[in-house]
Every structure is written in structure tokens, then in C-alpha cells.
Amino acid sequence: MPPTALLRVRDLVPDFLAFAGRTAPELSVSRYLAGHPDVVRALRRDGDWSDATGVASVLDGLRGRAADLAARAETVRAALPGGVAAVAGALGWSGDGGPVECVVLVGLNQANGWAGELNGRYALFLAVEQLGPPEDLDLLVRHEAAHVVHDRGAAIRDWPEYGVANALFTEGLATQVTAELDTARPDEAYLWFGRPGHRRWLDECRRRWLEILRRVRADLDATDADHHAPYFLMRDSPLAGDLPKRCGYLVGLTAVRRLRRHHTLRTLSTWPLPRVRAEMAEALTDLPPPP
């Protein structure tokens, strides 16, 4: 199947640019989002897009970047077919169930990309104002596309949103996919999508590995936001202490690599949640630190 048949791209950036020059920011927001009610529902699911005044203020502040945002959207559209096709090949997905939905948009200066539920299945969202340099874009596209394709094989959208065990597995698998598709980079590049300056973070995680692993194993069955945050989010958490933020990504990657010795990526991407929980519990037992 040709790469373009594996995805459907919905580029909202032209809609933003068309109305970004209006004098009333709130009008710009309503017109920008008016033609995409399903995307609006998805964006508001976590509350981030529910404050109309706040959203209008952020988007109004991006009006002066019209040329830059348009160029970034063009770069993203060019990268998507090859990125999605590479992930589809790695996970053995032939396009069953229809193409991957990819939403390119101007966001709220928060996340650069994420996989989230849209019309009953995962879709890929990319916020152009937050994207890094073009040479690192493929890492982000492949990582998030891996989540979307993983959802086609295992319906991961139905798994606990804050489940520690399943998050370790899904993030570890997506990171391993990017690593196998681009073998020339160090682990910190796959874990931080090419952003520089994270070698010290990786070294600290390795140095404190036994402590991190003990905490993760104790919280493995947790499914609440407070226990999830220390391992996967950048925000402060009352339970985090001084753990390196996002250390769960490295733990997940290391555990998936142990599982990868005996299973293909395609097989891993089809496991149901009960098996994921059992396999992760076993993989984390005496798991050595990454080299």
C-alpha cells in the first residue's frame, strides 16, 4: 500500500491563518475551530481548550508567526507519509481499518505532539508552534504514530489513562520503534525527541536506577494521576520527591528491550492489557540499568 494511503491529514493551520488577523481574538478562535467539531471535542476532553478567553489569548499571541507556522505545517505534511509508513512496516500494520488520522494544528504552546482519541480511535496530533528542528521531526512523528498504530492492534485507548504498567509498555514500545527505525542516535535522543541537553538526565537515571526501579515496581498496579505523574510528566507531583522527571520512559524502554529479545514488535503491539501487566511485572524483576 502506498504511504499516502496509510494516512489522512487534516491541516487546521490554514484555518488559523485565515482568521488570525481578525481584530477580535475570540472571533479568531471560533472561526478557526468551527469546521472541526470532532477535533474541538477531543481538544477539550482534558479541559485545556475549555477556557475560551485563555485559548483566545494564546492563539492571538501567535498571530505574528504566520509565515513560520505555514512553513512548519508544510514540513510536517511532507514528513508524515514516510514516518507513518515506516511505523506501519515496523509494527506489521497493513492499513486495516482505514488510514491513520493526522491532525496538524496551531496549539496552545504546550505539547508538540500527542496521540489521543478522535472519533472512536487514536489519532496523531501535531502542534506546529511547538515543533523542534526538521531533523528531529521524524522522531516525534514516528513515536506518536507508533501509539496510533498500536491502538489498531490492541485498542490501547481503552486502557487506564494513568495506568503505570500500561504506560511503561506503550511508551517503551513507541520509543523502541523510533530507535529501530533510526539506529544512529543515542538513547536520550529517542526519549526526548532529539532535544539537546538530556545526557545528564540519562546519567542520573542510570545512577539512581535501583531507587527508580523500586518505586516503579511498587506503583506498577496504580491507575491514578498522582502515581502516574512522577514517571511520565514534567509537572511537579506530590508523590515524585526528587525523582528525575519522565524517568518512566527510560524504564519502559529498558523493559520493552528485554521483552524484544523474545518477541517481534508486531507481536508486542497486539498484546491485551492483562498480558501487558503480567509481562511488565516479570520484565521489571531484577531489570539491569540500560548500558
pLDDT in tens, 107-147: 999 999 999 999 999 999 999 999 988 888 999 999 999 99
Asked whether the beta carbons of 265 and 180 are under 8 A apart, the reply is yes
DSSP E strand boundaries for 12-134: 100-105, 113-118, 121-127
Q: What does pTM read for this prediction?
A: 0.94
Buried residues in 122-158 as b, exposed as e (16+ CB within 10 A): bbbbbbbbbbeeeebbbbbbbbbbbbbbbbbbbebbe
CA torsion sign for 34, 125, 137, 3 is negative
pLDDT at residue 32, as a whole number: 85
Whether the per-residue pLDDT at 106 is higher than 70: the answer is: yes
pLDDT at residue 52, as a whole number: 81
Nearest to 151 by CA among 192, 91, 191, 103: 91
Q: Indicate the pLDDT class of residue 75, thresholds 50, 70 and 90.
A: very high
pLDDT at residue 26, as a whole number: 56
C-alpha 108/C-alpha 44 separation (Å) is 12
